């Protein structure tokens, strides 16, 4: 099986279709489910120090990986329902981010681009 976004989209669509879940998978519901899964991902890092969050045990990494997979699956399902090409959208967003955060200005800075005007 091919490892690609389109292959994953197809698998997720088939999974939902076999269960007749289209009726429940409105964009609103999928966006809400995506946030729930993102919250479950964040739970694994809650109360960890920066250092601890970078040094997860193998079992913690596996749990985090599964939560990340849930987020990706819901994101893919949402993109499928809205007929949005995720890779094209991501490439476009990266071009926008390159303009917002030029290397000269953003390197070693955590400041949001909107605050740069205030600093000048």
Report the C-alpha gap between 14 and 37 in whole angstroms. 21
Range with the poorest average pLDDT among 27-36, 37-46, 55-64, 101-110: 101-110
Mean pLDDT of 22-35: 98
Outline where the chain has alpha helix (H): 5-18, 27-43, 50-54, 58-82, 86-100, 103-106, 113-119
What pLDDT, on the 0 to 100 scale, is given for residue 2? 57
- Contact in structure between 50 and 20 (CB atoms under 8 Å): no
Number of C-beta neighbours around residue 103 at 10 A: 7
**Domains of the chain by range and CATH?**
1-84 (1.10.287.1080), 85-120 (no CATH)
Q: Taking a C-beta distance cutoff of 8 angstroms, is the pair 76, 34 a contact?
A: no
Question: Please, which residues have CB within 8 angstroms of residue 74's CB and are 6 or more apart in sequence?
Answer: 30, 33, 34, 37
Q: What is the pLDDT of residue 117?
A: 65
Whole-model pTM? 0.87
The answer on pLDDT for 1 being more than 50 is no
Residues 51-94 pLDDT 10s: 999 999 999 999 999 999 999 999 999 999 999 999 999 999 99
At residue 99, the pLDDT reads: 92
pLDDT in tens, 90-117: 999 999 999 999 998 889 988 888 887 6
């Amino acid at each position: 099986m091919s490892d690609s976004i389109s292959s994953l989209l197809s698998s997720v669509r088939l999974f939902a279709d076999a269960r007749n879940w289209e009726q429940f998978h409105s964009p609103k519901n999928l966006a809400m489910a995506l946030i729930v899964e993102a919250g479950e991902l964040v739970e694994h890092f809650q109360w960890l120090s920066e250092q601890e969050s970078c040094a997860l045990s193998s079992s913690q990494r596996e749990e985090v990986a599964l939560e990340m997979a849930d987020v990706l699956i819901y994101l893919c399902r949402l993109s499928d329902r809205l007929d949005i090409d995720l890779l094209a959208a991501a490439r476009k967003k990266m071009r926008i981010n390159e303009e917002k955060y030029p290397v000269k200005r953003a390197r070693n800075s955590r400041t949001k681009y909107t605050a740069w005007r205030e600093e000048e």
